[in-house]
Amino acid sequence: MNFFKTFLASCLGSFIALGLLIVVMVLLLIGMVASLGNEDRVVVKDLSVLHLKLNGPITENQVEDPFEDLPIPGAVAYTGLLPLKHAINEAKKDPKIEGIYLDINMLMAGYGVARELRQALLDFKESGKWLVAYSEYYTEAAYYVASAADKVYLNPEGDLEFNGLAIEVTFFKKLFDKLDIKPQIFRVGDFKSAVEPFMLDHMSNENRLQLNELITTLHKTIVADIATTRNLSEARLFELANKMLVTNTTTAAEYGLVDSLLYFDQVQNELRNRLGIGATEKINWITYSKYRKSFTPTSTSKNEIAVIVADGEIFSGKAQEGTIGSDTFAEEIRKARTNDRVKAIVLRINSPGGSALASDVMWREIKLATEVKPVIASMSDYAASGGYYLAMACDTIVAQPTTITGSIGVFSVLFDLSSFMDKSLGVTFEEVKTGEVGELITVTRPLTAVEKNIWQKRTNEIYESFTAKAAEGRGMPVEELKKVASGRVWTGSQALERGLVDVLGNFEEAIAIAAKAARIDTDYRLRYYPVQKNFFEKWFGNLEESTKTRALKSELGAQFETYQQVKKLKNWQGSQTRLPFELTIE
């Protein structure tokens, strides 16, 4: 009897697996057909409204996803900022686009991206076309973008967050104490507080000081921008935020943050009036994903500005999804330097930093490139620590006032997991060595006093190199540079005052500076690097990794989450130039 039970269970499992495989293959087939169909250019109808639904993560660039228009439950729609801004600019000139309907309730991006997007929408309005925003609720960042609209509408039973900004730092010391993990920390700079979450359960005075100044400066910029478009005084907006006077939709309308409290059908009627169509006529919506397929680049210029997008944490080796791999990006910079068609390079940076060595490898290639053609840095949400390391070699650095940058400092950290491995997993280690010093990068034992001295000396040397190169790039004495270093984080506007950036502006201004420096004026075309893999290349490339992950989950069971935490610590091993905290601004 047990044999038949086992046999039937096995058959049932096989049928389920086969069914799942068939579903996956059908989805892939649909995607392939959709991908092939998407090659056809979309025709925009007269009196169309561009529908921008921006409630998913916003990255710098975008990979084509053949499933993006399919209603797949739980699917997350990623939007590339640079292609989105290009589409908004095309809509500005498109006679068939009457206006933009902005559908946004939360913005999964930082305030550097938010300001870039907001500026693109304001530029769209310069054409005389209208921009209407509507949501059931607005987060602080979403409202900041929506406030650029001619009219901001809110659901009568919705919500709007307007109570200023807050920064939250996560601390892991008590977790490490419980797991018996011992961080071994070496750093330079009073403000280089990236390691504080490993050694403290609260903010240091230095970190609290820099975060207070950072968030206050950011908030001033945001309030000033909102005041301009909503015709409200900055003083009044500060009062609303600081006292949290906006507690419901009624007060949001009463204090002028929104224009009207409407349901969606009422918003549709308002749009019909703008379009001059009947109350029962269908609105010609066109989504962003479809609109992107309605136009193609028009420039046939032989002159090229290479836009090299550095988005993510910095590691040595080849770039993976969401990371900056030094091998990949050094090669892209090298190719752009030696390509005669490329007249200038714009390095688009959105990075909190990472490996010091990887940052330096890319810095060298950027430095070589500046010797033969203009190289301009365009900072997005972050260009801090290792991200600033990339920018400091460029001829000109362009940042948003809300960009988080600086953090010129170094730390090194190694995690002693020997007690954790022994007590939790029953694994012990023993080392045989020929000299006084053993492995310098190890998690299986604590460092000796001699080894700790070596690590601190290395960290000091990397800091001296970092600050010397930064001073050279910025054309200032090292002593002056160090006054704004020590790991201190600045906003773009603060960095401008301290000589760490040259211009406050957006991506388009960085392009204009590059074109002028290369003396090509408007005779150029943009090309983005690294060339993005399409959906299927990424999907098949991740199959092996997904299989390994499933196998580990099955093998480790409840211990899998612990394994994931330990694995993440590997990225922090050794010398790092990265932001002094895991930053969340709300």
Separation of CA 564 from chain center: 22
Query: Three-class SS of residue 6?
Result: helix
Out of 326, 385, 418, 486, pick the active-site residue: 385
Cβ neighbours, 10 Å, residue 102: 23
> Dihedral sign, CA of 105, 111, 114, 119?
positive
Confirm whether 385 is a catalytic residue.
yes
Q: What is the 3-state secondary structure (H, E, C) of 85-122?
A: HHHHHHHHHCCCEEEEEEECCCCECCHHHHHHHHHHHH
- Is the separation of the CB atoms in 409 and 574 below 8 Å? no
First vs last Cα of the chain: how many Å apart?
Answer: 60
Residue 452 phi/psi, 5-degree rounding, is: -65, -40
Whether the CB-CB separation of 435 and 424 falls below 8 Å is answered with no
DSSP of 475-505: TS-HHHHHHT-TT-EEEHHHHHHTTS-SEE-
Which of 225, 506, 502, 503 has its CA nearest to residue 380?
A: 506
449-474 helix and 356-370 helix, angle to the nearest 10 degrees: 20
Supply 335's token pair.
């190719």
Cβ–Cβ under 8 Å, residues 358 and 582: no
Q: Could you give the residue numbers annotated as active site?
A: 385
